[in-house]
Amino acid sequence: MNIIKVTILGAAAVLAFSSCGPKAFVKGQYDDVSRENLMNDQWSETDMQVIVKAMVDSMTMHPSITNAKKMPIVMVTNLQNKTSEHIDTQSIMDMVRVDLTNSGKVAFVDKEARGDISNEYDYQNNGMVSEETKKSAGGQTGADFIINGRLDSIVQEVGKDKSVYYKITLNLTNLKTGVITWTNQKQLRKTFKKKSIGL
């Protein structure tokens, strides 16, 4: 009888210790990226999707785009992060560029590829490439507009309530005149309740 009790107590102890051990996310599944994500109070892909869609819709309806005699050539520059979070602003601007390109209303020059392009010119003009196919400097298309902007946030906490506010401002600036042709902003506010998280 004592042996049975010891065995049962031992098994119970093992189960107790195993349940208190470190936990990990071990079972996953694919999810719909368009489904709203409010798992925590940080910047999320839902925030990015909502903000980018609003900005792209606004920009593509502006007369500087819709009334252009030829397709405007645009270059993305910098989105300043003025929030307290580490947010990948390059990813936001990449999404803006992709969605604008897919609209078919603007085309882009790639600022990030300039170094690679220059190196390729050097390679193609050092005798390694045939005369018929080599490319030389001086033939690139210049941008008509640049897009830049800023991302701001305000965080407020009172008791168990928390509010996170984001505002993104984008500008479309005429490269020839330096005049901001289009500008707009999108605001988001998310509210959260603080709750105890059990084991």
Q: What is the pLDDT of residues 78-88, one digit of tens each?
A: 999 999 999 99
8 A C-beta contact, residue 159 and residue 173? no
| Tens digits of residue pLDDT in 143-155 | 999 999 999 999 9
pLDDT of residue 19: 55
What is d(CA 47, CA 149) in angstroms, rounded to the nearest whole number? 16
| Tens digits of residue pLDDT in 24-46 | 767 776 666 666 666 667 888 89
Evaluate if residue 68 carries a pLDDT over 60.
yes
Residue 153 has a CB neighbour count (10 Å cut-off) of 17
Evaluate if residue 127 carries a pLDDT over 90.
no
Q: How is residue 91 written in tokens?
A: 């990813």
For strands 73-81 and 145-158, give the pairing: parallel
Kindly report the length of the chain: 199
Task: Name the average pLDDT for the chain.
Answer: 86
> pTM for this structure?
0.78
8 A C-beta contact, residue 175 and residue 144? yes
> How do the domains of the chain map onto residue ranges?
45-193
What letters, b where the CB count within 10 A reaches 16 and e where it falls short, cover 160-182? Answer: eeeebebbbbbbbbeeeeeeebb
Q: For 124, phi and psi rounded to 5 degrees?
A: -70, -20
Q: For 148, phi and psi rounded to 5 degrees?
A: -145, 180
Fold entry, domain 45-193: Rossmann fold (3.40.50)
